[in-house]
Amino acid sequence: MADVKSLEHPTLKVPYEILNKKFRTAQKTLDREVSHVQQAASEIEKALSDYQEVKAKDITSLLGGMVEKLQVLKRKAEESISEELAASNVCKRRLEHLKEHNTLTLSGNVSQGAFNQWRRKRLDRMVVEYFLRNGYYNAAITLADRSDIKDLTNIDIFLTSREVEKSLANRETTKCLLWCHDNKSKLRKLKSNMEFNLRIQEFVELIRSDRRIDAIKHARKHFPSFEDEHLSTIQQVMALLAFPVTTVIARYKALFDETRWDTLIEQFRQENYRLFQLASHTHCYSDNGENTNPSCPVCQPYLNQLAETLPFAHCSQSRLYCHISGLPMNENNQPMMLPNGYIYGEQALEQMARENNGQIICPKTKEIFPFKKLEKVFVISFIVSDDNTEII
């Protein structure tokens, strides 16, 4: 249950944040439309209370305006309720999915098939998120549709962020600024400086285009609201007015660097994760030093940096090694899967069973299983050559 609590926090938090945002947006929209209706009603009351004779056509016009505003209020209310219901249904679907895990684990007679199916669905969700974070949107959508897990994933959030990232990659700030405006209150609580950095970049681009008068107007319009927290940065940015684009002074040259757009994209990505309380890395990512081998060159970060520009090595056939014994897993040391999904070599597990009265203790999770619950895993090997691929 501990792994579910740690892994599934965003599963419930994201739709809750979306529902909360839709509720607040609907509240503001309805308050605005109600004020319009009240204003129209006040105009009618004022016209009727006037001592002068009221013309029928004037009252008809006022009533027509009142009806029009009521119709707008009704339409906006229906749209808001529909959006909130859709968001609440997503919350309900995800709660039912997690309750299913609780039911399977707490019931006395656990159906291994049903439990494996639930874990498979969770794995598919993690793969979908991995695809989304790495830009494989079509693959993510296809997998979500085939596994019927679209309501359990955050595809809509990533598709929205993709449009913003595309606009930033095209040196445009409009969509990102609109995103900042839509989430202004939440970003303020997070102490985000995303909007400030966007305004700086707009200022820099005006200088780059030799539109210095427009840059001054831009600064007067947008920078005053950030003076309390970023005065020193604003002063440095304003100094760009005195320097050419080709300046070699490091602190000003850095502001003209085109890679600042890449920095903005990465900042937006991280701010979006913070906004919906998503993890900064996908669940398919691991940076756990416990799983590294000190004798393995691939596990050494310094060698990774040296080899970054080198071509990938050709590996015709992969080899599996037991995490417990370090021995290769093959026909003489069959890979065996524990009920929790971890796989180890048969020889190490047999020795562990002999030492623990037929019980296996998973080195990763410390769960205990009887040896008879283990299952053999069969590996399909692929031998790749230049002209064909052979399956063994």
Dihedrals φ, ψ of 8, to 5°?
A: -100, 5
pLDDT value for 162: 94
Which two three-digit tokens encode residue 204?
A: 């820099």
Token pair for residue 263?
């920095």
First to last CA, the chain: 39
pLDDT of residue 390: 41
102-117 burial, b at 16+ Cβ within 10 Å, e below that, comes to eebeeeeeeeeeeeee
Strand partners for 345: 335
Q: Which two tokens stand for residue 294?
A: 């000190």
Which residue shows structure tokens 């050419």?
244
Helix (H) or strand (E) holding 108: none
Containing 137, the helix (H) or strand (E) segment is helix 137-147
Provide the pLDDT for residue 367. Answer: 85
CATH domain 310-392 topology: Herpes Virus-1 (3.30.40)
Residue-level pLDDT at 279: 77
Q: Taking the model in full, what pTM does it have?
A: 0.65
Q: How far apart are CA 293 and CA 303, in angstroms?
A: 14
DSSP 8-state symbol, 325: T
What are the pLDDT tens digits along the chain (392 aa)? Answer: 445 566 777 888 889 989 998 998 899 999 999 999 999 888 888 877 765 666 777 778 888 888 999 999 999 999 999 999 999 999 999 999 888 877 877 765 667 778 888 888 988 998 999 999 988 999 999 999 999 999 899 999 999 999 999 999 999 999 999 999 999 989 999 999 999 999 999 999 999 999 999 999 999 999 999 999 899 999 999 999 999 999 999 999 999 999 999 999 999 999 999 998 887 766 665 555 556 666 666 777 777 778 778 777 766 667 788 888 888 888 889 999 998 888 999 999 999 999 888 899 998 888 888 998 898 888 765 444 444 434 34
Please spell the DSSP secondary structure of 348-368, one letter per residue.
Answer: HHHHHHHHTTTEEE-TTT--E
83 Cβ partners below 8 Å, 6+ apart? Answer: 22, 26
> Alpha-carbon distance 69 to 46, whole Å?
18
Amino acid at position 24, single letter: R
**Helix extents (H) in 223-259:** 227-238, 250-253
Count of CA atoms in the C-beta half-sphere (13 A) of 8? 20
pLDDT for the residue 391: 38
Residue 371 in contact with residue 360, Cβ under 8 Å?
Answer: yes
Type of residue numbered 236: Q
